[in-house]
Structure 1
Amino acid sequence: MTGDHQNNTDQESVRTSPDMEAQKYAASIVLPDADVVFRNIKNAKRFAIDIGGSLTKIAYYSTVSHRKVLYNPEKDGTCSSMDGGNYQYESSETERLHFVKFETKYIENCLDFIGDHLVSSKDSVVGKSIKATGGGAYKYAELIQQKLGLLVEKEDEIGCLIKGCNFLLRNITDEQFAYHRHSEPEYHFITVEHNIFPYLLVNIGSGVSIMKVESDDKYERIGGTSMGGGTFWGLGSLLTEARGFDELLQLASEGDHRNVDLLVKDIYGGDYSALGLTGEIIASSFGKAMHNSHTKADGSKDFSEADIARSLLFTVSNDIGQLASLYALLHGLKKVYFGGYFLRNHPLSMHTISFAVNYWSRGDVQALFLRHEGYLGAIGAFLRGAEECDPEKYSWGENYAGSSGLQSPLPRPQGAGWPGGTTIDQLEIDRCDQQLTFFPLLANPEEYIPDAVDLTKDKEARDYWLSCFEGSLSSFVNRAISSQPNTDDSVERANKFRDKYIQRLHNLKNHPFAYGSLTVRSLLDMREHCLNEFDFPDPYLQQKKLENENALKLLNDHLNYLDELEHDKRQEVLVRGVLAGNVFDWGAKEVVKLMEDGLGFKEAADKLQARPWLHDDLDAWIARLQGPTHQCAAVFIDNSGCDVVLGIIPFARELLIRGTRVVLCANSKPALNDVTAEELTMLMKQVAAVCPIINKNLETGVLSIRESGQASPCLDLSRLPRSLVEDLRNWNCDLVVVEGMGRAVHTNLAVKLTCDSLKLAVIKNRWLAQRLGGDMFSVMCKYEAGNDIEVISSPVAPECGS
């Protein structure tokens, strides 16, 4: 360093000493605005900590209270109500995992924060413990006990990393991706195989550990290197004025390593073809810095600090990538996951590692990255001994309202003095009520993708749907307010819902890969998460109840009409009835006006496209019904009202008459006007009073109602309740019926099953219909025999909320 540079550094250190900086950082995390980051902190039950040489990650478990409709089946078979439809609610709790990070140099401030916010009473924690992993679990054990009064239970770092990795791969959609810097899109999200093993895990912390993972319990550390994130940060601090890790990464993104590195072409004047080396390959990292010719008369260099930072990043990344690929080849592994906070999902780091792995393995090894790579150790430490997280009982899912997303940090809290370069990247995971698993009748579960279109790859569709969802938001705000008319703060909460959802949509315009493969399903899920975030669990509840009541009045006459028809005609009318019922969808913007004007069931049937339909397998389905009786049919249903009462129930009744066991699979949680399993259970009591056939089969269990594990208008067949899967397997399910745009078209139209399948839907979006070569109310009726599957791939995406 020059003398002037040293003087500037000394002056800066006087202005902001380490103690002063730590105090500033500490102040920022205890301001009221910190609630934006440390959500539900007052309800935290237990926590774990992963203390690395550079960064500390905290995991804590909390319960989140929210409204839930109070059902009273003994009273009216539906739900308790008062004041003309303002439904009574009971308090319900959701279990949630939160993850927050600190720089390890602020560990004392971090522990003070935990003491003030996570440990409410010193007396209440006497004799209790905290799970801790990472090198700091040993280094800071005494400090933790002193600050918090908690016993430190040290957990093996490698075991925690692997446990956390397995947890993420099994529970978080689109957790893994490959990175291709010069492609569109750069992020390629890859479906996690049903069996995630074996793989190589390369954790890049201060140093690097390389682990071979063969099962949950069989793994070993097979190598590593001391050249890791600490090397990059340490040398970067010596060679540049960057004051933190994020600042150093930003500096590297602005530099040109070719000003510092000696390339092959600098030695040979171009490519070295004999060895297959292109001219742009780095021959010597920092090689140009050794030449005096690069020093100007005033003592300055031809390269900048940004160039140095970029060269340093490439040096470390190339070394790690080469080492990982060699270990993978040595052990015959094809997948290498890279984790740790060195990456930070940083494009340059991922690009360099991917290039190195591909180059040294000649394409035989795939470099994969994790969206939440920095949390592996913290997750693993938390899971140790956490009965409430028992993987044999529960599955988890990312909360889109609370997580910031890949390369999409949330805005800093207003007024909070966060240190320079700090961003708020959060991860929140909600616990499902049960364990979810793959549908056993998927023909190729390893290839299953529950979406027809990836909007990150289709800009026209992405622009349309993002605009569509934003344009329809006001109707959801109004619906949320009207669903709680006697609640003082409903307007305020509805406006907060609108603001958060719009913020998310705008973030996705700039970072469409933030939550994995951007799809209409993920946009719908995000909207439901935001509604629940502000305590609007079921805005369409009153509408659903009204439509069910009106449809029930027509059911008896409709069943009598069907019974008078001859067999083939009856089958056609039954399918048309399912399609007519599917028109009734409050998520389809272009249909809402018709429904508000009083759309009837017969009018809806008249709206359907005339045959031949856009996809027309009706004749094939009717012909199949002339053959052997199906043993068991799983029917994944859609909307309340005419859809379920006049469409699905008569269809299911016909299957029952044929001698087929029927399982009606409905949403576990509300979404738009979709019927839930809880609602359907009570609705069927009223249906049973109308139809003796339904009543008999309900009593004998031949007709049953099951939760589908979904809280969305779409259907993910890789996340079904294990109890449902086991029942369908035991009952030899040989027919699957999937209804509705979200379930039958946008997520499962091209999916292969090993049994017969019937997919029914009406296209209720003009833009989508025209893209498919049809018009409004075009019909999709797709039947496939289990032993003769013909797959049709269609570039489809659903209506907002359909």
Structure 2
Amino acid sequence: METKNYAASIQLPDTDLVFRNIRNAKRFAIDIGGSLTKIAYYSTVSHRKVLYNADKDSTTSVDGDEYHYESSETERLHFVKFETKYIEHWLDFIRNHLIQSRESMVGKSIKATGGGAYKYAELIQQKLGLMVEKEDEIGSLIKGCNFLLRNIPDEQFSYDRHGDPEYRFINTEPSIFPYLLVNIGSGVSIMKVEADDKYERIGGTSMGGGTFWGLGSLLTKARGFDELLHLASEGDHRNVDLLVKDIYGGDYSALGLTGGIIASSFGKAMHHGHTKTDDTPGFSEADIARSLLFTVSNDIGQIASLYAMLHGLKRVYFGGYFLRNHPVSMHTISFAINYWSRGGVQALFLRHEGYLGAIGAFLRGAEECDTEKYSWGENYAGSSGLQSPLPHPAVGGWPGGTIDQLEMDRCDQQLTFFPLLANPGEYKPDAVDLTKDKEARDYWLSCFESSLGSFVNRAISSQPNSPDSQERANKFRDKYLQRLRNLKNHPFAYGNLTVRSLLDMREHCLNEFDFPDPYLLQKKMENEHALKLLKDHLSMIDGLEYGCRQEALVRGVLAGNVFDWGAKEVVQLMEKGLGFKEAADKLQARPWLHDDLDAWIERQQKVPYKCAVIFLDNSGCDVVLGIIPFARELLGRGTRVILCANSKPALNDVTAEELVVLMKQVALLCPVLGKHLEDGTLCIRESGHASPCLDLSRLPQTLVEELVDWKCDLVVVEGMGRAVHTNLLTSFTCDSLKLAVIKNRWLAQRLGGEMFSVMCKYEAGTRKEEQTSKFPKIS
């Protein structure tokens, strides 16, 4: 086959925009369809990582202290879509941008699936020098579907074109099985999936996307599938279809049929001409396209619902070229399956359904992506988002348009559900869904945009010796700003839009441009200041009577929680010099906005807890003067305590690595705490997070196993991000205490309070026997 050097004549807009980190790609897979090709590849991304050296022996320390940067790598999966007609250009581009020469790749292989895996096998081998290993298409689709459902929150959604909002994202349950997968390509295949290795094709129909496209090409002048769908979106099927009311003059109540139900697809074509005129009633090509879309969709919906009901399945996932997240297609499928199943079966869609085959093919034999060892998370800095692909201009003969991408970063371990959730299948971490609440959405998007300048400045100042920090910080600003403005038009792009997702997106963009911990030096300074106050603070607490001591401990946590560099109004106070006592004086007077303090104190007089896990928030006064004394009290009552901190930096939140260093300094000031650390009754664990918020459906498997083994019976969640923005409404099977100070005036007023309102929410476990005390009242 003759080859051409397209790369010499076609200039792509930006290597990093199209095939990001392609130079470090180590493994490929490709899913080639008739119209779209999807490429999956694995790479390692180098970046700065903050390390905490308790022995202070690093020669690359910051400010001569125990904190230093070290080069690290993140494993990343990349998925890119493009039109199959450009496959030669893209293969040339990939070849010319790999670090490895073409010769060094000879003998290696690429996984391939889809019909084009056969058609283009020779071309792929010739262009890339890779042997083509063909993978079963159905098996790849299911493997990819399982991977997405397990690893990407808000991956699945239902769609209602007339709903508010249109997109409703569904929580992923601890078990994703069983389900029905309906893949709508040229024809339709229906698969019943009961486990990773237990699935079968149970049916299908020849009436699929090819039927719609083929008949549409014969009946209209539409050029291509998307033009036909667009035409259908402008049509009115009632001009072509014969409705129940056209036959009976209204509803057919005896059979439960409303007048608007289609009695005969294209039924009116028997009586009217093809083209509308002023004098002759008729129908347009748009009407024909709409009727055709309904004809095919209703047939698919009816068959799918019948199979689902026959096999007792409630969840049906739809994917394939026919859908491609197109609103008109999803609406017609949803309506059909809801109608034919009488609401008993739910039509669900996937944000990244176009990548199922590519993901599944890639995972086969990819040991570095072992799903038994690692979980993955969507990288918001590198993913284009649902219905919002990244624009790129026409350059050097290459057609302008959009690039659709998905990027996923590998976690260091397997993540799973918190074992003490009362209703894991219904768990929603976020208190407010901004896709539904326009007032809140407009406020928070504006709030994050207005505070962007301070984060740019903080990023630059965190790396004073880096000559390119200004340039990288500006790139961070531009990317995050583009994401925020895009979310104004497409709030559903990354699933449920929440304060959590906005915070996470900001962290992803900071890391994208090598700012892993902009608050590094600030945390160091605040920890040192708080440690100087700790000894006297503990002595003061020890001198209090029981009731006063319990209240002081809770107030201490709340006072510490005031110190938050993510809260704009508090930042102004902190920059002027906010002290711990002054912060305590800022707290709302009792009764608090939510005040369960008395109930908590009363519970403390009963049987001590066996094990408590505390999800921490900020560094400095928060952890040192708030959480540590609180944990010390529990330890004194015989409770094992797990301090659970972020795995990676976010804002001024304490990280697990940082906490290990900090607790060694605390142990020197308080030998009691030192002994608990030595004995293992006080433990430090990672939460698996790099966010100011907390998603309890994604915790390290090792942590979960410890909580079960140690019979954890108390959960303490602290901070506005973890206990208000997320988990405010979460119920547990064990007792829980949520503590936070509201440091955003708009949010406080929305909750019915004022600035510095207090949330002190204590709840007994929802499914445990009432504990009774056999111990005397502690004074």
TM-score range, shorter chain: over 0.9
Please name the residue that 2:773 is paired with.
none
Q: CA–CA distance in 1 between the matches of 2:144 and 2:360? A: 4
Of 148, 170, 175, the residue aligned with 1:190 is 170
Q: Is the 8 A contact 1:33 1:413 kept in 2?
A: no
Q: Deviations over 1:433-460 (max 9, x none)?
A: 1110000011111111001111111111
C-alpha separation in 2, matches of 1:295 and 1:438: 58
State which of 278, 281, 292 in structure 1 corresponds to 2:261. 281
Q: Measure, in 1, the Cα distance between the counterparts of 2:674 and 2:275.
A: 91
Q: CA deviation at 1:344?
A: 1.4
Give the structure 1 partner of residue 25 of structure 2: 44
1:18-417 → structure 2 map (5 Å cutoff): 30-75=11-56, 81-82=61-62, 88-118=68-98, 120-291=100-271, 293-295=273-275, 302-413=282-393, 415=395
DSSP 3-state at the match of 1:411: strand
Equivalent-residue separation in structure 1 for 2:447 and 2:396 (angstroms): 34
Alpha-carbon deviations, 1:7-43, whole Å to 9, x = none? xxxxxxxxxxxx9xx9999899752425312111111
Residues of 2 paired with 1:610 and 1:36: CA distance? 52
Does structure 2 retain, via aligned residues, the 8 Å contact 1:176–1:368? yes
Residues 472, 513 of structure 2: 8 Å contact kept? yes
1:754-773 aligned within 5 A: 754-773=733-752
Aligned residue in 2 for 1:750: 729
What residue in structure 1 maps to residue 499 of structure 2?
520
| Alpha-carbon distance between aligned partners in 1 of 2:153 and 2:398, rounded to the nearest angstrom | 31
CA contact (8 A) 2:22 2:94 kept: no
- Give the alignment of 1:440-459 within 5 angstroms: 440-459=419-438
Aligned residues of 2:422 and 2:766 also touching (Cα < 8 A): no
- Structure 2 Cα separation of the partners of residues 486 and 696 of structure 1: 40
**Residues 688, 700 of structure 2: 8 Å contact kept:** yes
Structure 1 residues 624 and 76, CA gap change in structure 2 (3 angstroms) = farther
| Alpha-carbon contact 2:52-2:67 (below 8 Å) kept | no
Q: What does residue 798 of structure 1 align with?
A: none
1:708 is the counterpart of 2:687: yes
8 Å CA contact 1:70–1:80 kept in 2: the answer is no
Q: 1:504-562: CA deviations, max 9, x gaps?
A: 11111111111111111111111111111111111111100000011111111111111
Partner of 2:446: 467
Aligned to 2:711, which of 732, 735, 751?
Answer: 732
Cα distance in 1 for residues equivalent to 2:299 and 2:618:
55
Cα distance in 2 for partners of 1:589, 1:23 equals: 57
Tell which deviates more after alignment, 763-772 or 142-151: 142-151
The corresponding residue for 1:11 is none
Distance in 1 (CA, whole Å) between partners of 2:388 and 2:276 is 41
Amino acid at match of 1:680: L
Distance 1:497 1:28, change over 3 A: farther
Instruction: Describe the shift of the 1:512–1:23 C-alpha distance in structure 2 as closer, same or farther (beyond 3 A).
Output: farther
Determine if contact 2:611/2:710 at 8 Å carries over to the other structure. yes
Is contact 1:528–1:671 with CA below 8 Å preserved after alignment? Answer: yes
* Alpha-carbon separation, structure 1, partners of 2:346 and 2:396: 41
Letter in 2 for 1:504: R
The amino acid of 1:256's aligned partner reads D
1-side partners of 2:11 and 2:232: how far apart? 32
User: Equivalents in 1 of 2:276, 2:327: separation in Å?
Assistant: 33
- What per-residue deviation string (whole Å, max 9, x for no partner) do you get for residues 766-787 of structure 1? 1111111111111111112225
Distance 1:488 1:560, change over 3 A: same
For 2:775, the equivalent position in structure 1 comes to none
Distance 2:509 2:238 in 1: 46
Which residue in the other structure is 1:630 paired with? 609
Deviations 1:51-102 (A, max 9, x none): 223322111111111111243321179x953468997522211111111123
Task: Report what 2:581 is aligned to.
Answer: 602
Q: In the aligned structure 2, how far is the partner of 1:197 from the partner of 1:456?
A: 28
Deviation at 1:302, TM superposition (A): 4.4
The match for 2:549 is 570
CA displacement, residues 591-643 of structure 1 (integer Å, 9 cap, x when unaligned): 11110110000111111111111111111111222111211110100000000
Q: Is the 8 A contact 1:455 1:518 kept in 2?
A: yes
Preserved CA contact (<8 Å) 1:86 1:485: no
- Rounded Cα–Cα distance in structure 1 between residues aligned with 2:84 and 2:279: 37
Tell me if the contact between 1:395 and 1:432 (Cα under 8 Å) persists in the aligned partners.
yes
The question of whether the paired residues in 2 share the 8 Å contact of 1:28 and 1:34 is answered with no
TM score, norm. by length of structure 1: 0.91
Once residues 218 and 92 of structure 2 are traced to their aligned partners in structure 1, the CA distance between those partners, rounded to angstroms, is: 31
Is the deviation greater in 613-622 or in 293-302? 293-302
The percent of aligned pairs where both chains have the same amino acid is 84
Choose 766-775 or 411-420, whichever is displaced more.
411-420
Which amino acid is 1:663 matched to? I
Contact 1:33 1:416 in 2 (8 A): no
- 2:455 matches 1:476: yes
CA distance in 1, matches of 2:447, 2:45: 31
Write out per-residue CA displacement over residues 663-693 of structure 1, whole angstroms, 9 at most, x where no aligned residue.
Answer: 1000011110000001111111111111101
Name the counterpart of 2:774: none
CA RMSD of aligned residues (A): 2.6
Cα offset, 1:364, TM superposition: 0.9
CA–CA separation in structure 2 for the residues paired with 1:301 and 1:38 = 52
Distance of 1:87 and 1:658 partners within structure 2: 35
Alignment gaps of 5+ in structure 2: 770-779
Once the two structures are TM-superposed, the CA of residue 118 in structure 1 deviates from its matched residue by: 4.7
For residue 672 of structure 1, the aligned residue among 630, 647, 651 is 651
Whole-Å Cα distance in 1 between the matches of residues 4 and 488 of structure 2?
A: 37
2:721 aligns to what SS in structure 1?
helix
Residues of 2 paired with 1:341 and 1:85: CA distance?
A: 56
Tell me how far apart the structure 1 counterparts of residues 308 and 6 of structure 2 sit (CA, whole Å). Answer: 41
Check 1:28–1:181 CA distance in 2 against 1; reply closer, same or farther (3 A cut). Answer: farther
Rounded to whole Å, the distance in 2 between the matches of 1:435 and 1:643 is 29
| Contact in 2 for aligned 1:28/1:418 (Cα 8 Å) | no
Per mean C-alpha deviation after superposition, the further-off stretch among 721-730 and 779-788 is 779-788
Matches within 5 A, 1:527-566: 527-566=506-545
Letter in 2 for 1:330: L
State the Cα distance separating 1:119 from its structure 2 match: 7.7
| Counterparts of 1:414 and 1:106, CA distance in 2 | 14
Tell me how far 1:764 sits from its aligned partner. 0.8
The CA distance in 2 between the partners of 1:25 and 1:146, in whole Å, is 14
Distance 1:359 1:572 in 2: 57
Letter in 1 for 2:25: A
> Separation in 2 of the partners of 1:441 and 1:744?
16
What corresponds to 2:675 in structure 1? 696
Q: For residues 207-262 of structure 1, give each alpha carbon's deviation from its aligned partner in whole angstroms, at most 9, with x where no partner exists.
A: 21100011111110001122222333333344444433333322322233333333
Residue matched to 2:772: none
Instruction: Name the SS for the 1:753 alignment partner.
Output: coil
**Quick one: distance in 2 between partners of 1:418 and 1:510?**
27
Deviations 1:717-753 (A, max 9, x none): 1100001111111111111111101111221122111
Contact 1:470 1:502 in 2 (8 A): yes
Are 2:403 and 1:424 aligned? yes
Cα 1:756/1:604, change in 2 over 3 Å: same
Greater alpha carbon shift after TM alignment, 293-302 vs 779-788: 293-302
